[in-house]
């Protein structure tokens, strides 16, 4: 790999002159600049970004830690983060890490990102790393949590209103006449999961319907886990008439379980999902869902992070809560009800 000294020798100038050309830090005559640029191109010289960033005491790098890159929600979140970062004038880059909801892997990535001297972190916390995350925040490193909070850690956060989302989904099912509404719950150490169960409970209590804990089933973390849990929930004479799935992985598993049992949706079992995704309209019937503003959460997280970087101190933590959108399609039975009414 060519060095700055190789470029200087080929151009017949000093290393300092090459540095001035690269960094545009001092006037260099057009003829000399042209020779240096020609030598750079000929030798395919690339600056040592790490060494340069250390000299500047800046890396212009943001670390992004998410929990599951295969989940379309987090893909949209990262897209929002990426577009916002590259749309800024500061010239920042990002390093993306995927934890697979594993706290040990999360700690490892946090260590790596600190070694890389990132200037800020956007984290979807996996859970069980409160002490580590609190140390990061207290050290003065700008940190923004996305999608979830961490108990005992005061950091800037951008969330969707999970309680409101499942409240509205459940209320919609109640309005369609459902009284036995089950929940297929993701088994994750995330605050968002507990909040979604709370919204379901509030809606049933508001309708004076008892929230039966037996109708809440943990669906693990994978589509196959969710399918198995769905089979268990539905293969019972006292099964619910409708199921609320707490994320799109749970929704996919539930749809498979319904097909495996030879049931029909929504005639035998209605389904609604927390989180919409691109192929939701490809299902038959089309899926009723609470669409999360994942892309907007990503852009909002970047704005919070750069505001924290510019502030240069801990300050008071900022919390932004975005609303989801209820999208009514056929899987809840609403379309069939409308046809019967007509």
pLDDT tens, per residue, the chain with 342 residues: 778 888 889 899 988 888 888 776 678 888 888 998 888 888 888 765 544 444 444 678 999 999 988 888 999 999 999 999 998 877 899 999 999 989 999 999 999 998 888 999 999 999 889 999 998 888 889 999 999 999 889 999 999 999 999 999 999 999 999 999 999 998 876 789 999 999 999 999 999 998 898 899 998 888 999 999 999 999 888 899 999 999 999 999 999 999 999 999 999 999 999 999 877 777 889 999 999 999 999 999 999 999 999 887 667 899 999 999 999 999 998 655 433 332
Cα distances from 225 to residues 62, 132, 183, 214, 262, in angstroms, run 34, 30, 14, 18, 19
Question: Which range of residues forms the domain containing residue 32?
Answer: 4-47
Regarding whether 270 and 131 lie in a shared domain, the answer is no
Regarding whether 99 and 41 lie in a shared domain, the answer is no
Q: What is the pLDDT of residue 306?
A: 94
The tally of domains found in the chain comes to: 3
Residues 6+ apart with CB under 8 A from 192: 147, 148, 159, 160, 162
Q: What is the pLDDT of residue 339?
A: 36
Inside any domain, residue 33: yes
Regarding whether 152 and 74 lie in a shared domain, the answer is yes
Inside any domain, residue 105: yes
pTM for the model: 0.80
Q: What is the pLDDT of residue 338?
A: 37
**Crossing angle, helix 248-260 and helix 223-234, to 10 degrees?**
50
Regarding whether 124 and 271 lie in a shared domain, the answer is no
Phi, psi of 294 (to 5 degrees): -60, -45
Inside any domain, residue 52: no
Q: What is the pLDDT of residue 6?
A: 87
Regarding whether 271 and 166 lie in a shared domain, the answer is yes
Regarding whether 225 and 128 lie in a shared domain, the answer is no
Residues 6+ apart with CB under 8 A from 82: 94, 298
Q: What is the pLDDT of residue 25?
A: 66
Structure token pair of residue 42: 């000929």
Regarding whether 178 and 151 lie in a shared domain, the answer is no
Inside any domain, residue 53: no
Regarding whether 42 and 67 lie in a shared domain, the answer is no
Regarding whether 277 and 217 lie in a shared domain, the answer is yes
Q: What is the pLDDT of residue 340?
A: 34
Regarding whether 337 and 207 lie in a shared domain, the answer is yes
Regarding whether 236 and 184 lie in a shared domain, the answer is yes
117 in Cβ contact with 139 (< 8 Å) = no
Regarding whether 210 and 125 lie in a shared domain, the answer is no
């Amino acid at each position: 790999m060519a060095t700055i000294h190789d470029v200087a020798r080929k151009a017949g100038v000093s290393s300092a002159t090459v540095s001035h050309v690269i960094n545009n830090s001092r006037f260099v005559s057009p003829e000399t600049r042209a020779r240096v640029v020609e030598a750079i191109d000929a030798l395919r010289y690339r600056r040592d970004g790490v060494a340069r960033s250390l000299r500047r005491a800046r890396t212009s790098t943001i670390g992004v830690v998410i929990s599951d890159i295969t989940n379309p929600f987090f893909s949209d979140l990262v897209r929002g983060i990426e577009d916002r970062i590259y749309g800024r004038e500061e010239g920042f880059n990002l390093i993306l890490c995927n934890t697979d909801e594993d706290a040990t892997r999360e700690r490892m990535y946090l260590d790596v990102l600190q070694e890389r001297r990132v200037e800020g972190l956007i984290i979807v916390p996996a859970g069980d790393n409160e002490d580590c995350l609190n140390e990061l925040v207290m050290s003065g490193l700008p940190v923004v949590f996305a999608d979830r909070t961490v108990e005992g850690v005061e950091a800037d956060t951008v969330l969707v209103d999970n309680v409101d989302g499942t409240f509205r989904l459940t209320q919609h099912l109640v309005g369609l006449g459902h009284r036995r509404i089950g929940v297929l719950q993701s088994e994750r150490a995330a605050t968002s999961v507990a909040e979604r169960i709370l919204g379901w409970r509030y809606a049933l209590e508001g309708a004076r319907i008892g929230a039966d804990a037996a109708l809440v089933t943990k669906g693990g973390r994978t589509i196959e886990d969710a399918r198995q849990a769905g089979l268990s929930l539905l293969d019972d004479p006292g099964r619910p008439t409708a199921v609320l799935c707490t994320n799109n992985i749970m929704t996919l598993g539930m749809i498979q379980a319904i097909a495996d049992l030879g049931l029909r949706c929504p005639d035998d079992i209605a389904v609604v999902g927390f989180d919409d995704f691109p192929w939701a309209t490809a299902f038959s019937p089309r899926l009723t869902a609470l669409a999360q503003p994942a892309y907007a959460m990503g852009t909002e997280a970047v704005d919070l992070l750069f505001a924290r970087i510019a502030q240069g101190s801990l300050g008071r933590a900022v919390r932004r809560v975005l609303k989801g959108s209820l999208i009514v399609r056929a899987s809840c039975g609403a379309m069939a009800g409308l046809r019967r009414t007509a």
